Amino acid sequence: MKERCINLDWLECHCCESTSRPLTPEMFRADGWEVEERPYGTRVYEQMFTLMQFSTSEPLLEIRRIPVTNKSKVAQVIDPHSCHIRLHNRTCYFDDAAQLLENFLARYDIQMMRISRIDICLDFEKFDSGDEPQKFMMRYLSNKYSKINQANISAHGKDMWDGRAWNSISWGEDKSMITTKFYNKTMELATKKDKPYIRQAWARYGLVSDFITLKKTLPDGSEYSPQIWRVEFSIKSSVKRWFVINGSLPTQHKIQSIRNTLDCYHTKQQLLDIFASLADHYFHFKYLERNEKGELIRKDRCKDKVLFNFNEAACFYKVEHVATATPKDRSASLLKARLEEYKLSHTGADIINACNVLIEDISERLLKNSAANPWNQSELLLLRQLIARRINQKTDVPISETIDNIRSLMKIEDEIFGEK
């Protein structure tokens, strides 16, 4: 089974809010949401705010509304009830991200006009062909291969005394309906902004063995640090329900239309199918070949450089808790401190041993929390209450039973508390 990870990385829709139910921050607060308002808007919209996830207070989605009514030509043609709704980057890594957005729109009577932008990405250590991404990139930039479609290119890397180390290539223009990016994602996470939920996804799909150290364990027990690369397609559709793939070779169809509605992105298999269609056109390479006279052979007659194989069945893994970008460790840290304090005030071996077990468990979970955030706020509240009850009240319940109860509470499923 191939070790690769398919996900959304951006999902934004142009919508029209209901005249009878305007999407004001006050309305969402009255409905139980935590809302973070930005004191200023954008060039197109006067108001912008973020709705936070109920259980973790992490950003869930962003709403931009109230079109600017100045002399801007853009604002003059926008419906006064128009708005843009964008999933936060972390939310895109939920297994049901598109379904979540679809349900949100239905709940608040929001009409979706079109998907204004959606990014689909595939992460991997090596291509299905066995090619190493870094070496392939160097061969492409040294004219060993040629890419069909998307002539505009930009490359980024580092210029060194003994040569250049390239780590990112983009194809397409800003105004293009589809743009392609191929880059070293491990390097980006290390040098720009770490995203624990992406590291978590890599561990789930076997790209790394440890989501904290980002190391991978080989069958013989040795470890190494894999470089994970990403191919990402960004679709910016100006069409309500379709995006278009353009073919540049004589043997290709000039235009291929593909449905572009939220229900097309509900499952990982759907994402992989659309990614495969895009890769066939926009990540399609040919060997650069010449005839006996040294003349370049037409692209459509050159041999394909095969990188991906999407014919085999794929295996997908469900993520129970999506990692937080800014882990909420304060509650667990305070709980650990209380246990340390309580342990020092007692001499009984049973009490000390019980505290040590809990402290050790919490310490380990705090470390993992930066990548997995296994507890939500409701679970922590229950845990604190149970320990406080055990500390403050005399009971005949054995310490071992209390520990088992606490451990079971730690594993309570999110759906019990209405997660997401």
List pLDDT tens digits, range 267-279: 999 999 999 989 9
Question: The dihedral of CA 267, 268, 270, 274: what is its sign?
Answer: positive
Closest CA to 126 of 271, 226, 212: 226
Domain boundaries, the chain: 119-305, 330-417
Long-range residue pairs from 149-152, CB within 8 A, at least 24 positions apart, any chain: 149/246, 149/247, 149/248, 149/281, 149/282, 149/284, 150/176, 150/178, 150/179, 150/180, 150/282, 152/176
Tokens at residue 313, please?
A: 């069945």
For residue 23, give the 3-state DSSP assignment: coil
The b/e string for 168-179 (b: 16+ C-beta within 10 A; e otherwise) is: bbbbbeeebbbb
Please check whether residue 265 is in contact with residue 98, taking contact to mean a CB–CB distance below 8 angstroms. yes
Within 10 A of 323 (CB to CB), how many other CB atoms are there? 25
Ranges assigned E (strand) in 200-267: 216-217, 223-224, 229-235, 242-246, 255-259
Within 10 A of 79 (CB to CB), how many other CB atoms are there? 11
Q: Does the predicted model carry a pTM greater than 0.85?
A: no
Tokens at residue 386, please?
A: 């149970």
pLDDT at 322: 58
pLDDT tens across the length of the chain (420 residues): 578 999 999 999 999 999 999 999 999 999 999 999 999 889 999 999 999 988 788 999 999 999 987 545 554 567 899 999 999 999 999 999 999 999 999 999 999 999 999 999 999 999 999 999 999 999 999 999 999 888 899 999 888 777 778 899 999 987 888 999 999 999 999 998 889 999 999 999 999 999 889 999 999 999 999 999 999 999 987 656 666 665 544 444 445 667 788 999 999 999 999 999 899 989 999 999 988 888 888 888 899 999 999 876 555 444 445 555 554 566 777 787 788 888 888 888 888 888 888 887 787 666 555 444 444 444 445 555 555 555 555 556 666 666 666 555 555 443 333 333
Ranges assigned E (strand) in 294-355: 304-305
pLDDT at 389: 55
Ranges assigned E (strand) in 38-88: 45-52, 59-67, 82-87
DSSP letters of 161-197? Answer: TTEEEEEEEEES-TT-SEEEEEEEHHHHHHHT---HH
pLDDT at 77: 61
Pairing of strands 59-67, 223-224: unpaired
Tokens at residue 348, please?
A: 């009984």
Tokens at residue 123, please?
A: 């992460």
Dist CA 227 CA 208 (whole Å): 10
How many angstroms separate the most distant Cα atoms in the chain? 94
Tokens at residue 182, please?
A: 């191929």
CA angle 341–343–349, rounded 5-degree value: 175
pLDDT at 420: 37
List pLDDT tens digits, range 55-98: 788 999 999 999 987 545 554 567 899 999 999 999 999 999 99
List pLDDT tens digits, range 213-243: 999 999 999 999 999 999 999 998 765 666 6
